[in-house]
Every structure is written in C-alpha cells, then in structure tokens.
Copies of this chain bind each other. A is one copy, B any other.
Amino acid sequence: MAQIARRSPAPAKASRFDGEFDIVVVGGGGAGLASALFSRWEGNEVVLLEKAPQLGGTTIKAAFWYWVPNNQAMRALGIRDEKADCIRYMARLSRPEVYDAKHPRYGMSEWEYEHCEAIYDHASTATELLAEKGALEYRHCEAVPDYWAELPEDKAPMGRVLLPKDARESMSDGGEVAIRTMSGAAKKAGVDIRVNHRVQRVIVNDKNEVVGVEADTDRGKTVRLKARKAVIFASGGFTHDVAMRKNFLSAPVFGGCAAMTNEGDFVNIGSAVGAALRNMNYAWMCPIVLEKALKKDPDLIGTFSPSGDSMIYVDKNGRRVTNEKLAYNESAQAFFTWDPARAEYPNLVLAAIWDQRSQTHSASDEYGRFIVPEGKDDAHVIKGKTLEDLARSIRERFAKYTDAVAGMQISDDFVGNLKATISRFNDFARKGKDLDFRRGERQVELLFNGPAAENPAGPNPTMYPISDSGPYYAALLTGGNLDTKGGPMTNRSGQVLDQMGQPIPGLYGVGNCVASVSARAYWAGGATLGPFLAYAYLAAKSAHRQPAKS
C-alpha cells in the first residue's frame, strides 16, 4: 500500500502556490511519462508527480507490448489495416452483447465509437513521435497475433504489436526498458520529476476550473502546485483498493499485479469535481497465484503464460472446468462462474497440477509462470510424491487460507476424480484433440504455451500425457486484475467530462485511471499501452492549447 495516507479528495481553493507550471502530470508510469513528454515537447513547463518512491507504476512490471493499429511497420510491410475493419474488431469484443456489423457504430455508443477512432487514428502518430525523439524506440513483433485472431472481424490478425527496441529476446523486460528510456528522455527534456508526492485533490478557482493540485509528501508536507493550463492524471486504476474492487468490479477479485499504489485515487478526486464514471465494472484480467495475491506481494505478475504441456487446472472436485491455455483475460473468467443453485463461486480457486516433465522443461521466472525453476521463489508450489500425497498437501494449503476463500476445500472424492480427469486428458493429449475444452486450437494459445520439451505427444504441442508416477506439483490460482478499466469519462482529447458530458476545465486523464473503451475486451497484447500512448498524445496536444488560467 502507499506509504502516504489517503486524505479527502474534496477540491481545495488556494491563493498561494509552492510552484507554478503549465501542466501538472500525476503518475509516473507509462501513461504519465508519455503525457509529460508530449506536453514538454510542445514547449510547456511540466512537473510530474509520482506517489511511490520511484517511477514506473504498473508499466515497469509489464512486457510493454504495445498494440498500435495500422502502425508504420505494418504499412512498410504492406499489411493492410483499414480503420473500419479495426473498429469493427474492437466493437465485436468490447460490446459483444450489442455488436451489430451493420450498425453505423457497430452497436456502440457515440462515446465508445469515438474512442475506438481515437486509438486507431493516433496510436501510430504517438508511437512514431516517441521513437523519433529517442524516448521509446520499438521493434515490430510481426509474428504476435491479436488475442482473437481467428474472428472473421480481425482483418489484420498480426502486425499490430510493437515492443521497446532493446527488450530481451523473450520480450519480458519491455517495461523496464521503456521506463528507463522514457524517464531518461523526460529528464533530458526538462520535465520536473518529483517522487513521493501523493496528489490528494485538485485546486479549483472561483469559476470551478481546475488550476492545480495539492499533494502530500512522504515527509508530511503539503505542496500546492499551480497548473496554468491543465492537470493530466495518469495515476492508475483501483486494483489495490479493496472496497472499490468489491463495490464496482463485476467479479470477486482478490488482487492483481498493478503497482501497489494503484488505489483508485482519481476515481475519488475526479468524482469530487463532478466527473462522470464509466466502465467501472470492467478490468484487465489474468489468472494469478492465490497466495501472492493474499500476501499482497508487490512483485506479483499475472500468469500470462500457463506453461506446461503436461499440466491441467482442476476444481475442488478434481475436474477440469476450462481450457487452461486461453489468453489470460479470458482464462480468468473461468474462476468467476456462479452457481445459482448453490449460491457459490465453485471455481473461485482452481489448482494447476503438473508432473516432473513440465517442471523440468517448462519452468521459468518470466511472464508470471507458476512453474518456476528450483531456487526461485516457489513458496506457492505444493508438492507430492503421489497424487494422494499431493491431494493431502493441497488440502493442508487450502486450510491455511480458509478464512480468505470462504472455507473452500477439496472434496473427499478429489483424488478419484483427479485420476479419471488425468486419464481423459491424457487420451486427449495423445490424440491431440481436447474434446472438452478445445485446448490449443487457437493461435494465441500457442503464443503463451511457453517453454516445453521437444518431444510432443501428438499434433497438439499444448498437451502431453501427465505421468502416472510422481513427483507431482500444484499451485492454487484465482482470477485477478492486471489493473482496472473504470474511472472518469474522458472525451477523445482526454478531457474529463462531467455528468452532462461537458469538459471540466483544466482536467485531463490518461491510462487506467480513466474509463477504457475496451470494456469486456482484451483485443491483443499491448491493448493497454498502445491506446494509452494515443491518449497521452491527444491530451498533451489539447492541454497545450488551453489558455492560462488565473
């Protein structure tokens, strides 16, 4: 949790300031740094305030793929990515319940359509400018597919994903690279960067225009900073505010891998000056290791890559309930199944189970894998010489967390069912066809299959028969957030809108702290950061044009 306590978000008045800038940026992750850079490059005096002791936010933990429709590299390769096609793909996934291919906005509201347009129109421009200026150079991930590449609506299923140029071969350190290059560029450009500053509220003038912020520092000081033109919030979602998770998200989530400082500050600060909230029910989701979430482990990474071909997820009865290799946002949904006849979430915790083959060949400490190499943090790994032995250990582990998971425990017939489940899975593995959940049939599943042994059992590399002798391994998983998607509603210039749809003068928002048009969807890897760069660009452009306020 943040070291500087939350105080009232009610807006303040101020006659004296401790510093004056054109633009105040709140938040030092990817969205905040980009906003600061674009603002500064327009010639503005810019300060960036970060709540944590260091820059990076959630971004520094990410691979920093960024999804940029119709990007320059695609164009250079002659890959066509028409605007209408791209927006149709976004609509199909974001609002599946009202998607209509023949509707002029594909069933979306005007607000939703405009935001999809903004992403398509500006993500590439923003990307190129960051690259030109040396703040964020990229390499093109030609072979990375969208997460729904098989849908007929996806006319450009590969080519939209970029990565920081100097990221390692496995791509997992993209966030570190990006934060290093972007913060370096920000310092070089003269952005005033201040860490350990928690913005508590905005300062308004007599016309109710936003003219600055009040921040508390780690030393207990309150600092008032004037923003002549605008305040741009880029302070992250509400993953680590328990009350907000419970009262807004559509799913019972125990935590997630957003920066621990993502406590929904801007939901409260924005609401306090009349911002309308949108998409508060949605999140970027991912299975996570239950115990890391319960311990509030700041190093928690979502299990993007459910590696292991001889690995399955089973429920408390020892039965498979889902395709383990689905892309993470969709995989997470399995945990939230509601049983209306029993009034319970039967899958709230599932056990991943694997054998020595997967342990030997699929262990890695990248991409949040739960199969980790020896010597790495493996406190979450449950071991057993036999399946009976493993089940006993799983039972003990559940008992340890009984108060956190509503008394969930494996059933008495767990081992018997597990053996039948393994037998059925092994048969699927040998034939290469999962008749229950169609594991391994989609491109994205191969993408995230992770390292594996070289001798597949059949035509489907995501499945291999689980050994009939131990040792066996298990990990308890639940559905979690990368971060949340809800917050104040903005227009396509990033201006925060009030309940009547009017911009609140001087107030902007970018990134997970404001509402994401993606709603239900995770279009592709980088569907977070690519759009954020577009919005950072648009917000900075618009903020730059604001008249100075008194």
A468 within 8 A of B: no
B97, B103, B341, B438: the one contacting A330 at CB < 8 Å is B341
Those of A483-514 within 8 Å (CB) of chain B? 486, 498-500
Question: B326 to A333, Cβ gap below 8 A?
Answer: no
Closest to A7 in B: B500
Question: A247 to B281, Cβ gap below 8 A?
Answer: yes
A92 within 8 A of B: yes
Known: A99-B406, A99-B407, A250-B251. A340 touches B344 (CB 8 A): no
Central interface residue in A330, A402, A403, A499, by most chain B CB within 10 Å: A499
> Scoring A residues 332 to 350 as 1 if CB is less than 8 Å from chain B, else 0, what string do you get?
0110001011011100100
Question: A499 to B272, Cβ gap below 8 A?
Answer: yes
A151 within 8 A of B: yes
Question: B340 to A97, Cβ gap below 8 A?
Answer: no
Question: B344 to A96, Cβ gap below 8 A?
Answer: yes
> Scoring A residues 234 to 259 as 1 if CB is less than 8 Å from chain B, else 0, what string do you get?
00000000010011111110000000
Question: B343 to A93, Cβ gap below 8 A?
Answer: yes
A1 within 8 A of B: no
A107 within 8 A of B: yes
B97, B103, B442: the one contacting A348 at CB < 8 Å is B97
Which residues on the B side are within 8 Å of A317 (C-beta)? Answer: none
CB distance from A311 to the nearest CB of B (A): 18
Those of A136-154 within 8 Å (CB) of chain B? 148, 151
Spell out A's residues near B (CB within 8 Å): 7-10, 92-93, 96-103, 107, 109, 148, 151, 243, 246-252, 268, 271-272, 274, 276-281, 322-323, 326, 330-331, 333-334, 338, 340-341, 343-345, 348, 402-407, 437-438, 442, 486, 498-500, 515, 521
13 extra interface residue pairs, beta carbon distance < 8 Å, beyond A8-B500, A96-B344, A247-B515: A8-B498, A92-B343, A96-B345, A97-B252, A109-B243, A151-B343, A247-B277, A247-B280, A249-B281, A271-B271, A271-B274, A281-B281, A341-B437
